[in-house]
Amino acid sequence: MATKQNQRSAEQNIPIDVHFNKLLDWLINRRHCTQEWHTSLAVIRQNINQAIQDMPAMEEITQLLEGTYVNYFHCVKIVAMLKDSESGKKNMFGQYSSQKMKDWVEIIRMYEKDGVYLGETAQMIGRNVNYEIPALKKQIAKCQQVQKECDKKEADYVAKAAELRKKYDSRCKELGIVGKKIKSELSALVKDLPMTFNKIADSSKDLQEAVQFYGDFVNFVMNSQKHQETCVTMLKYVQNSGDTTTYEWRTGTKPEKVEETPILIDLGDEQDQHDATENIDWDIGADVEADIDFGEEIDFDISEITVEQGGTETEDQNPSNQSLEPDSDSNGIDWSDTVLVEHPSKGGTEEGVAKGVDALTILDNPVTRTKFMDDLMELEAFLTQRICEMDGNRDLDIISTSQFQNAPSSVQVDKNKVVTMASKVKDILSQLTSVKMHHLLLIRNSPRYVDRLRDSLKQTLSLADKMVFYEKEMIVKKKEVLEEQRQMEPKLDVIIKRTKEMQSQMEGEISIKYKDRPVNIMGEINMI
């Protein structure tokens, strides 16, 4: 007898382990609830909704029902609270006199019939663990991921905005302007071109020694004075006469009157670029979560802009009967992309009056300027070659030395002196081939070009402001997502808490049915 009692006591202490996903099937198989429990649940939910409408104003009940799904265990707590109030009084027949109390007692009775409350609670536990809690966690994780992406994009937009503004400032520096009123500043620089050309013409006088060295060298090698006279003729002319008009260079006499063609640049639409971009409405919509990829950003290079070719070619010839056709120099700048006013033919030219192309100075006229630059590059090539020969190997140096033993002293120039000559030539060439000079000459010969140049610069600045706009939108988006996360986190805490409570309540209810044997609901529910 004692052995059987000990055996029963041992069996009583064996725990009942049920996986939460199989809890509902376990309850149905052991007949703790029927398979049609959900059909009765619909009526119970309807009664609960009606009973809630007529609840007394009790703080405990309000907190219990606020923001949660009312289940069987909530109904038990509500009845316990109502018993302590006026609604809990009974009449002489032992029945509750309050209709509220009768309603809730009836709801509990319907719940307990056929174990409906056990089936509902098991289903709620499974739904919360499998769907509700993972969905909220996933949404919170997504919010955190979006915040990280917003931080990254915000940093990218800040960097891109700074890069674009730096590029804008760099391009303005190349053009020699501040960049606040582009057209006005460029117009002022174009008006200063004659002064710049005069300075270049004056600088060319410093090349007389290099020109003399080149001429003497050619005279010695070719053994002919004729070749010396035809070397760098345009450069010699500018050195001797300065930046004269094309008329004077062509005819050999100064004009009595110069009719210059005015440069007409429309400044009517000019405005401060920094103020203009601040008022731009990008109108990209409120949804900025769309991924904006600037990996294929367009690089606007102002040095690549050209103007439409216009004007006509002149048929006049210089004193040496050489064709005055525009051409491209060795630096890749096409000086033929200019618009010039064609001067009248020889027969119709007014004597002593320089107008049209003839009114332009040597360095202002694309044709004569190209010849001047060709002479400079010819001189530069000669000096560079001489430096290379002086730096050559020993055998070449011996041959060169023996070849020039009988050369005049003007040809036997020290290497350092030749390097200095080449440096001066390169300095003048750099002034004529700079990005700033290129654009100023295009503006000088085609005033429409200034609008295109302004628009290109403005577009770079507009892109910088657009990056700032996107940066602000990322800040707003980050705040919205952060607020969404803050709203979901309390909901997650509540549903986890309710699920843990239902787990404990279900374990207690099942334990009662098995004579207080320990019951454990297993699975992921213990890791939420």
pLDDT tens for 3-49 read 656 666 666 778 999 999 999 999 999 999 999 998 889 899 999 88
pLDDT at 396: 45
Between CA 211 and CA 375 the distance in angstroms is 10
pLDDT at 493: 93
pLDDT digits (tens, 9 = 90+) for 129-166: 999 999 999 999 999 999 999 999 999 999 999 999 99
DSSP reduced 3-state for 337 = coil
Residue type present at position 117: Y
Rg (CA), the chain: 48
DSSP reduced 3-state for 522 = strand
* 192, burial (CB in 10 Å: exposed 0-12, middle 13-18, buried 19+): exposed
Non-local CB neighbours of 175 within 8 Å, separated by 6+ positions: 186, 189, 302, 435, 436, 439
Residue type present at position 135: A
Between CA 48 and CA 103 the distance in angstroms is 8
Which residues partner with 258 through β-bridges?
A: 354
Q: How far from each other are the two terminal CA atoms of the chain, in whole angstroms?
A: 46
pLDDT at 302: 37
Which residues partner with 353 through β-bridges?
A: 257
pLDDT at 266: 66
Instruction: Please check whether residue 431 is in contact with residue 437, taking contact to mean a CB–CB distance below 8 angstroms.
Output: yes
| Token reading at 135 | 């969905």
- Listing DSSP states for 231-252 in one string gives TTHHHHHHHHH-S-BHHHHHHS
Instruction: Please check whether residue 393 is in contact with residue 205, taking contact to mean a CB–CB distance below 8 angstroms.
Output: no
Comparing CA positions, the residue from 509, 519, 504 lying closest to residue 32 is 509
pLDDT at 168: 92
pLDDT at 349: 53
Between CA 7 and CA 102 the distance in angstroms is 46
pLDDT at 284: 42
φ and ψ at residue 328, rounded to 5 degrees: -90, 140
- Cα dihedral angle (248, 250, 251, 253), rounded to 10 degrees? 20
pLDDT at 25: 94
- Listing DSSP states for 291-308 in one string gives ----TT-----GGG----
- What are the Cα distances from residue 511, in Å, to 25, 154, 504? 17, 57, 11
| Token reading at 176 | 């020699």
Comparing CA positions, the residue from 375, 378, 340 lying closest to residue 360 is 340
pLDDT at 227: 63
pLDDT at 88: 53
pLDDT at 169: 92
What residues of the chain score a pLDDT lower than 50? Answer: 92-93, 280, 282-348, 393-399
pLDDT at 134: 95
pLDDT at 55: 74
pLDDT at 402: 52
The model scores a pTM over 0.75: no
Instruction: Label the pairing between strands 16-19 and 519-522.
Output: parallel
| Token reading at 265 | 């640049």
